[in-house]
Amino acid sequence: MFDSVQRCRVMGSDGEFTRRGALALAGAAGASGAIAGCLGDGEGEEPPDRTAPLDDSIGGVRMFQYDPPNTGNAAGLVGPSAAGERFRFDAGAEVRSSPAVSGGTVYVGGGEALYALDASDGVPLWTFETDAPVYSSPAVVDGTVYAGTRGDRLYALDAEDGSERWTFEANGWVDASPTVTGGTVYAGSRATDGEVYAIDAEDGSERWTFGTEYRVVTAPAVGDAVYVGGWEGAVYALDPDDGAERWRTGTEGPVLSAVALGESVYAGDNSGRVYALGPDDGAERWRVGVGETATTPAVGDSVYVGNGAEAGGLYALDPDDGAERWRIETDAAVTTAPAVADGVCVGLGDGGVVSVDPGDGTERWRFDADGGVRSTPSIVEGTAYVGSDDGRVYALDDG
């Protein structure tokens, strides 16, 4: 499948091969011959035949927005301070799946495949061909990779070699990224009669199903309850043991972004409102407007949320009362959830990936891909991994 060097290159910020990249890879591999075919520009060269990552200590992103509550907070991790391109991997189709990074491996969907890439240099370790496009972001827990497809399936694969462990049949597209905790996989379906599933992580058997009024397209947030947004304009809280509805709170627009759990349940909708709801009863604590479409919120010292409309914008809100702490213009739609580390990083519809200071919104760096970015950046120590509609997965570091 990997028939040319176009699938794996080590690049500088200007798109050219860099001696720094070659030396870094040669040092990591222990021999320059081990990386032949991943660096040069010659046609017909094969990437290294490798099945294990160079550095299995690289990790920290087990699932969409880092953790079961969907906080988007990479606590204790430091992202890049500049936007140099360390490597790019060409998946050959748009990459809207957000990368998971664990055990030195980047797991990501692109087109009709799931890929495991070496987090150090982008060399493909294995590929699993799916039945349909993968928009779901993988979750990697206890040696298993979980991801949904638009073929109405949720797959569980061995993280080490990509072999299939089980498959779960849903009633519609599984665009919602799975959330895995406590031995259970929580996922939703995009069918017109949307469903939320609790699935045994070990064998793929169904534990319970809850029917919503319409589609479920985003990852459940899991804490004391399972919180999920509905396209019909609602946020649900479900009992994690049996799926019983604890409460339901209506919103002004469809909730097409994932909810995030902190001191409150934070949700954005397609009317541009952000809501803070009580986790126990769904009572509204506050709501604010942030434009026309609100992204998935991220929870740190502030609640960070983007405006998905054409003009864009990124906001920092007080978690207690929703007061605006700062906002910046992005000049393009914010098309991903924010990822929070030492900076706040978002993807834009014009292909930009931007990192700003979490305290005041000052821009720290910007990278421009060749297509829109709808893959939420994953921040791991010193590196941001992100996919693009240009069909590539990028690893960005200080350059």
Domains and CATH numbers, the chain: 5-397 (2.130.10.10)
CA dist 129 and 118 (Å) reads 18
User: Does residue 120 register a pLDDT over 90?
Assistant: yes
The DSSP H or E segment spanning 229 is strand 226-230
CA dist 103 and 56 (Å) reads 4
Q: pTM for the whole thing? A: 0.89
**Digit-coded pLDDT (tens) for 203-230:** 999 999 999 999 999 999 999 999 999 9
User: Does residue 313 register a pLDDT over 90?
Assistant: yes
Q: Which residues, in sequence order, are bridge partners of residue 287?
A: 275
**Digit-coded pLDDT (tens) for 315-374:** 999 999 999 999 999 999 999 999 999 999 999 999 999 999 999 999 999 999 999 999
| DSSP characters over 190-216 | -SSS-EEEEEETTT--EEEEEE-SS--
Are the CB atoms for 133 and 116 separated by under 8 Å? no
Closest by alpha carbon to 212, among 233, 184, 185, 241? 233
Task: Give the count of alpha carbons within 13 A of 59, CB side only.
Answer: 16
What pLDDT does residue 214 have? 93
**Digit-coded pLDDT (tens) for 151-164:** 999 999 999 999 99
12 vs 195 pLDDT, higher one: 195
- Under the banding of pLDDT at 50, 70 and 90, the label for residue 44 is low
CA dist 283 and 24 (Å) reads 53
**Digit-coded pLDDT (tens) for 260-273:** 999 999 999 999 99
Which contacts qualify for 278-284: CB closer than 8 Å, 24 or more apart?
Answer: 279/223, 279/224, 279/225, 279/227, 279/237, 281/247, 282/235, 282/237, 282/246, 282/247, 282/248, 282/249, 283/249, 284/249
In the numeric block, which tokens belong to residue 78?
């430091």
Pairing of strands 392-397, 153-158: unpaired
**Digit-coded pLDDT (tens) for 63-87:** 999 999 999 999 888 999 999 999 9
What pLDDT does residue 399 have? 78
Write the Ramachandran bin of 143: left for phi over 0, alpha for psi from -120 to 50, otherwise beta.
Answer: left
When the pLDDT of each residue in the chain is averaged and rounded to a whole number, the result is 89
What pLDDT does residue 77 have? 87
Q: What share of the chain has pLDDT > 70, as a percent?
A: 88
Phi then psi for residue 346, to 5 deg, are -135, 160
Rg (CA), the chain: 20
CA dist 323 and 54 (Å) reads 46
Helix, coil or strand: residue 284: strand
